[in-house]
Amino acid sequence: MWLSNSSVGRKVVMSVTGIALVLFLTFHMAMNITALFSEEGYNMICEFLGANWYAVAATSALAVLFIIHIIYAFWLQVQNRRARGSERYAVTNTPKMVEWSSQNMLALGIIVLAGLGLHLVNFWSKMMLPELLHKAGMHDVDITYAANGVYHIRETFSNPIFVALYIVWLGALLFHLTHGFWSSMQSLGWNNKVWINRWKCISNIYSWVIVLGFASVVIVFFLQSLCGAC
């Protein structure tokens, strides 16, 4: 099959899944920012999503997209290493036009993956998972705070260790997105000199907006916890 047998096809799969994940990040960031302006509104969104069928279906689809994205990322990395062969051991000067992020996309992706694991432990395992288990008949599972997203945000970001880990995660996500976004457009054919420069600009701005949106929630709730401790 073309999407798996050719290098171009694999890059297309990476691009499409990557863009889908960026759209999810946009929604998730917008949802999180709601907590800064209306805690009640944020909890209403959490309750609306919860473990309802549409939220579970969307989560399952995202998981599939993410797994495909990871598999193809490693696949392309192995392919590139094989293509370079012994040349990868030679001492070379990296061209100035080659971005640092493009040279470290796999490492950045691994950090993003680790951060996602942390995020699932801090939020998904305490919100959607208990509701799913409760609906499955495990009525001894505590769902008191399952739909209280603000409670979990406060609990997580009152811990400076988690704050530091999330900032590192968001930093890696920023570099991953700034290169990955425009690179995806290039793989999909938007690679003429005019549009590729435009996509690089859009990529940088869009990535900063997403990451600063997430970071603002982390920092604001951390500062609130410090003020509350005074």
**Domain for residue 91, yes or no?**
no
At 180 the pLDDT is: 82
Q: Looking at the domain assignment, is residue 164 inside a domain?
A: yes
Provide the pLDDT for residue 1: 58
Q: Is 81 exposed, middle or buried (0-12, 13-18, 19+ CB in 10 A)?
A: exposed
* Structure tokens, 54: 């549409």
Span 81-115, pLDDT tens digits: 776 655 544 444 444 434 666 677 778 888 999 99
- Position 47 scores a pLDDT of 92
Q: Is residue 98 part of a domain?
A: no
Q: Is residue 208 part of a domain?
A: yes
Structural domain contains residue 16: yes
Cα–Cα distance measured from residue 96 to residue 28, given in angstroms and rounded to the nearest whole number? 35
Domain of 77?
2-84+104-229
pLDDT band of 184, cuts 50, 70, 90: confident
Residue 215 banded pLDDT, cuts 50, 70, 90: very high
> Is residue 165 assigned to a domain?
yes
Mean pLDDT of 134-152: 92
pLDDT of residue 97: 38
| Averaged pLDDT, 187-214 | 86
Count of residues in the chain:
230
What's the mean per-residue pLDDT of the chain? 86
Q: Is 90 a member of any domain?
A: no
Number of domains observed in the structure of the chain: 1
Please, which pLDDT band fits residue 132 given cuts at 50, 70 and 90?
very high
CATH number, domain containing residue 19: 1.20.1300
Q: Is residue 94 part of a domain?
A: no
